[in-house]
Structure formats: structure tokens, C-alpha cells
Chain A
Amino acid sequence: MIIQTALLVGLVLFSALAILLKDLLKAAISLAVASLLLGIVFFRLGAPYAGVFEISVVAGLITVLFILTIALTNTGEEVRESRLVNIVFPLFFVVFIVIDALVMKGLVQKIPALPAAAESGTFGDVLWKGRTLDLVGQIAVILAGVFSVLALFRKRDKHD
């Protein structure tokens, strides 16, 4: 229970840091740490496949991509942001945490939660047979992402 709570608190903390930190590199690393902690939570809750994906793809691959992009584009210029952002986000965050805690406290014994079942079948079964339509959706999301990059970073020869 203590370990679980520590993991969850760490997860929230590093996620908040990822948003609040002004240095992009530090923000990217905070995000990686947050998703590493989330991966561990997945393992402890009996979802090893989700844990493996979370750690390898989100904590690993995506962080590498972020850091590469930051390294290639960072010109050292400070982006000026409105002061309001520095106040509004933490305020909203605290209010959210309080509401969340109150709601969850009220719900803790009321959700007729089912006992966690171990993931059935091999990894291949779960991915290819269990959630096939989601895979089709995933392919569509990836296509949409690729075409978005192609479309939004095109040469603006005619429109401008």
C-alpha cells in the first residue's frame, strides 16, 4: 500500500513537473520518469503487457524522440509566457486534487470492483486477437499523424 501510494504520488508529481518546468529537456525527462512510474504501477496491478509498452514506448522511445528534437531545434531562446499561466495552472491543479480526493473517498467502498484477472493468453493473442478493431483504429491514428505532419509542414507556396 505504501509503495503503491508513493508510486502514485510520484506519478502525479512528475506529470505536474512536466507541465510546469520551463526547460524543455527537464520537462521531457520528468515525463519519462512519470511514465516509468506508471509502467511499474501497471506491473503491480497485473498488467505486464501494458507495463512493457508504457516503459519501452512512452518512457523510452518517445523520450528519445523528444530529446533528439529538442537537441536539434533548441536555440536557447526563452519563450515569454503570461504570468497568469503560472498562477492558474497550480490553482486549478490544487482544486482538482481536492475534488478528486473527496470524490474518491466517497467512492472507495461503493464501486463493486471486480478482482483483477491475469491477462489471458499470450501477448500475441491479446494484441492481435483480443483487440483487433483497436489495432485498425491505431493504424488510422498513425496515418492521420503522418499526413498531418506532411500537411502542416508543407511549403506554403500558394496560400500565403
Chain B
Amino acid sequence: MIILFVALPLVVAGVLPLVGKISRRVLPDLLANAALLFLLVYAVAAGRPLIGNGPVLQQLTWLGETVNLRLALDGFSLFMLMAVSLVGLCVGLFSVDYMEHYGAKANYYALLLIMIAGMNGLVLATDLFNIYVFLEVAAVASYSLVAFGLGHDELEAAFKYLMLSVVASAAILISIAVIFGMTGSLSLPAVARALQELNAGPVVGISAALFIMGFGLKAALIPFHAWLPDAHPSAPAPISAVLSGLLIKVSGVYALTRIFLNVFGLTPALSTVLMYLGTVSLVGAAFLALGQKDIKRMLAYSSISQVGYIVLGIGLGTPLGIAGGLFHLFNHALAKGLLFLTSGSLQQATGTRDLREMGGLAKRMPFTAATNLIGSLSIAGVPPLNGFWSKLIIIIALVQAGHPVFAVIAVLASVLTLWYYLLIQRQAFFGKLNERWAAVKEAPFWMTAATVLLAFLCLAVGVLFSLTIKTWIQPAAGVLAEGVQTVIRSWGL
């Protein structure tokens, strides 16, 4: 029953505001986190045996009649579902304490669950228009979550995000229309087969360009990144964690990768474009991050830079490059989720996001300081943490494929990354304690628990990296490395 990944969060979201009338805090906290925990357990425990014999295709019946509700679960989609559920659960736990002072908690959880249902639906969809619809589901929920604090900055950021996101949706929709006009079908296997037979190079090129623009905007690749440094910092911290850790990856990277590698087939030209976009993003955003004084803004720029690594790895198109890109996607989801949560703890404790005003907070918030350090070192790629291995794999793949220049750029950008993360650590946590923060206390229990859990995962995935790669990354990368054949052969119902 893989439809549960979509249906369960939606149903729980539907009843949450009603539950919120009975109990304003405890029941919504419990219900939302139970749903997220169930999704994680279901993905980890039931998902892997389910795809043991190849991808699962589900054609559902409704009241005894077959309806067009087709879902497909393969190594790549299961990997994404697991990442979404894992970060989703940590964010849910963090929200128990963090969202206390915002009010309207039941509505908040409902929107969070709808966003997760949208991401899960996108990951399981087997049809271009379904992908678009679920992209919008996740996006609509995320607009209002960015504005959830109702302050001037939040509303402005949400509006900017909405406007640029609409442009992205329009580009994606036009591209889908062009493909439908050419192939007469929307389902991914049929489109993949038709594109193999059709000889329509220029038109495919135009729809690929529109997809790059649309999904590039969603993934915030440079030069489509203008909305992200406003939207991600303005949202409440747990939502920033979901946006940076998950949403840009699911609605940007996942959709782009699935369509380009499994439906269009990665041509050398497409591969080059993706690699250049990735490299420009990873270098450009790293420099932009250096100059930031606002901790969340710095993290937001860092997300653009890390998505650059992911796109560079996947765009390379070799099995090792794809594996490295996907592994980095997972590691960045964990570490950036963690860092946005610790920045939330900092903001709640001090009331500011300005790094210059902080200082010496490690004495008052030891857990937050330690987990923040682990997240920072992980993203910067310091061994033995998880980020080191994924960056190493991407760099080895680049060298193997004969792109030493890209490899050198990736290494140098990694040094820049370490630099600005150490800046955060030094300015916020080390040094002399600022007098203003003498009364600051460690973050409440659930906030600390969520960050400790994510930090532990960063460490564990780093130490057990070969196990992670064997169980999760390789099945996912295998699906992508097989190219269009995966979808044509095993998805045709």
C-alpha cells in the first residue's frame, strides 16, 4: 500500500485542525509526530523488502473499479521517501517546543504534513502531470509556512517566493504541454518510449531548457536562486530545515533527475549544461555565503552551493557520479536540517540571527554548540563525517571521468565551505561570552533531542558509510544509471 505515503499525511492533516479545537498542544504534537514516525518506519521496514524483486507498481481500484491511480516505487523513490520521512520526523520533534510561541500549532502541523504528502506524491508519481500537481501541493503549503510568523519580512519573502515559484511552475507546465503535444501521452514510460522513436531534437531541446529553468528555480541553482536567500531564513526554523533539507531537493533535484535521466536520457549536451550549472552554483553561492552576517542567510546560500555539488555529481552521469550526488543529497538533507534547527535554537534563545551580536554561547548552550559543530564539519566535508564521503565520491568520479578541473574546483569550494562554517562556529559559540547572553539557557528538551538525533545520524552515516551506500544509495543510483531503460522496461503497466 504505497499510497499510504500520500494518503496518511493528508488524512492526518485533514483532522488536525479539528483535533486542535479539543487540545491546542498535546494532541496535535502527538498525532503529527506519530504520523511522521509511522512513515519513517514504513519506509525503512516495509519499503526495502517491497522492492527486493524490482520496482513495485501499484494500480489502485476504487469501489471495485480500476482507476488511473498509478504509483511506482523503486530504489530511487524509496531512498527519497526515507530521506523525507527522516528529516520530517526530526523537524516534527523540534517543532513540539519551537512552535509553542507562534500559536495555531494544529494548523502548522497540518500544513507541514500536506507539504510532506506533496513531496511523497511527487516522488511516487508515474505521470508528468501528476508530478506537476504534487509539486504545487508542496509549494502551496510551503508559501504559507514561510509566511507563518506573519511579520513584515516573512510576508515579503513568501510573496517573492510565490512569484518566482509561479514562473517556475509556468515553465514546467509549458514543457509538459510541449511533450504531450509531441508524444500524445503524459505517463513517464510512454513518453520515454515515444521520445526514443521520435526524431524531434530541437523540440526536445526546448522542453529540456524549460525544465532546466523550472526545476532549476525550484532547486535554486544559480542563476535561478534569487528567492531562496529570502524565503529560507524568513520561515520558522523547522520549516527552513524542511525547505533547504528536503523541498528544493524533491521538487528541484529529484524531478529534474527523474525526468532527464529516466525519461529523456542524459545526452552529453545535457550533462555538460548540468555540470556547468552545478559548478557555477557551488562556487558562486560559497562566495556569497562568506559575506553574510545573518546566520540563516549564510545557511541558505550554503544550500545553493551544496545543491551545486549534487547536480554536478548527478549531471556527470557516470554510476559513481550519480551515487556520489545522491549520497550528498542525503547527507546535506541531514546536516542542513540539523544546522537550520540549531540556528532556530540560537534565535529562540537570543532573539537575534545576527552573528556579530552572538559570541561565547557554547558555555550556555553546550548541546547546540556541539551539534552545530558536527553539522558544520559534515557539510564542509571533514572526515569521518558523512559529508566527507559523499564529496570524496563526487571528486573521485570527476577525476575518473576525465574532468580534473571540475574536481579541483569542487575541492577548493569545499575549503571555502569549511571557512564560512568555522566563521559561524567561532562567532556564535566560541570566544568570550557576550554579557547580554549571561542568562541564556540550553534549548528545551525536544529541540535538543531533534538536533542530537540528526547529529548522531551525521556521525553514524559517516562511520557506517559503506553500509549506507550498499543499502540505500546503490539501489537508487542503479535506477538512474540504467537510464531510460528502467522506466520503459519495468514501469510499463
Binding site for B on A (CB under 8 A): 103, 106-107, 110-114, 117, 128-134, 136-141, 143-145, 147-148, 150-152, 154-160
Chain A contact residues, majority secondary structure: helix
Interface membership of chain B positions 110-139, coded 1 if the CB is closer than 8 angstroms to chain A and 0 otherwise? 110010011001000101011001101100
In the complex, what distance in Å separates the CA atom of A40 from the CA atom of B66?
Answer: 32
Known A-B contacts A148-B140, A152-B144, A159-B149; A143 and B103 likewise in contact (beta carbons under 8 Å): no
Known A-B contacts A144-B144, A151-B108, A151-B148; A107 and B67 likewise in contact (beta carbons under 8 Å): no
Cβ-defined contact, B114 with A143, below 8 A:
yes
In the complex, what distance in Å separates the CA atom of A143 from the CA atom of B243?
Answer: 20
Cβ-defined contact, B68 with A133, below 8 A:
yes
Known A-B contacts A134-B130, A158-B103; A141 and B66 likewise in contact (beta carbons under 8 Å): no
A3 to chain B, nearest CB (A): 21
User: Which residue of the partner chain, among A103, A113, A143, contacts B206 with CB atoms under 8 Å?
Assistant: A103
Known A-B contacts A138-B133, A158-B103; A113 and B182 likewise in contact (beta carbons under 8 Å): yes
Within 8 A of A (CB), among B57-93: 60, 62, 65-71
Binding site for A on B (CB under 8 A): 6-7, 10, 13-14, 17, 60, 62, 65-71, 101-104, 107-108, 110-111, 114, 117-118, 121, 125, 127, 129-130, 133-134, 136-137, 140-141, 143-144, 147-151, 178, 181-184, 198, 200, 202-203, 206
Q: What are 21 A-B contacts defined by CB distance under 8 Å?
A: A107-B202, A113-B181, A114-B183, A129-B66, A129-B67, A129-B68, A131-B129, A133-B70, A133-B71, A136-B6, A143-B110, A144-B114, A144-B140, A144-B141, A152-B144, A155-B103, A156-B150, A158-B102, A159-B102, A159-B149, A159-B151
Complex interface: chain B residues within 8 A of A107 (CB): 202-203, 206
In the complex, what distance in Å separates the CA atom of A117 from the CA atom of B70?
Answer: 23
A134 to chain B, nearest CB (A): 5
Cβ-defined contact, A151 with B114, below 8 A:
no
Cβ-defined contact, A140 with B68, below 8 A:
no
Complex interface: chain A residues within 8 A of B67 (CB): 128-129, 132
Known A-B contacts A103-B206, A140-B118, A144-B111; A133 and B69 likewise in contact (beta carbons under 8 Å): yes
